[in-house]
Amino acid sequence: ALHRSTRDNLDTYWRAQLEAMEHHPREASLPQAAEWGALGTPRLVHLLATGVPTSKSGAGRWALDAYPHHREIVEEALRVRERPDDPSTYAAEPDRRRRHLVALMREVIADGVALPWPSTGRVSAS
């Protein structure tokens, strides 16, 4: 039941959030949006992939390994959550932050929805 509801949450709630980001690009460009989406979606996929719940920070560290090609946005999300006074690599380019966030979330959601149960503990390197 947990696996099914987690997959459903990725497939419905989080997909709808991606669509909303298209209609509200300013809000989606904010640092808080990066923290929310770049840690929230991997947190659910971590649960599906490992069977073990984790914190948002734990999910971010897991995502650094699972999605190394999205390192900058994951590091930004961890920065916002854990070190908000540190400088952002996106400070001058918030729209780039939004584009990177959307790309990560799109991939993470697709991976989570596609994971078999029980999972092998791996996600694709799309």
pLDDT for res 83: 98
In the predicted structure, residue 69 carries a pLDDT above the cut 70: yes
Split at pLDDT 50, 70, 90, the class of 53 is: very high
Mean pLDDT (the chain) is 93
What is the chain's Cα-based Rg? 14
Split at pLDDT 50, 70, 90, the class of 122 is: low
Q: What is this structure's pTM?
A: 0.91
Split at pLDDT 50, 70, 90, the class of 123 is: low
Under 8 Å between Cβ of 119 and 49: yes
Under 8 Å between Cβ of 64 and 74: yes
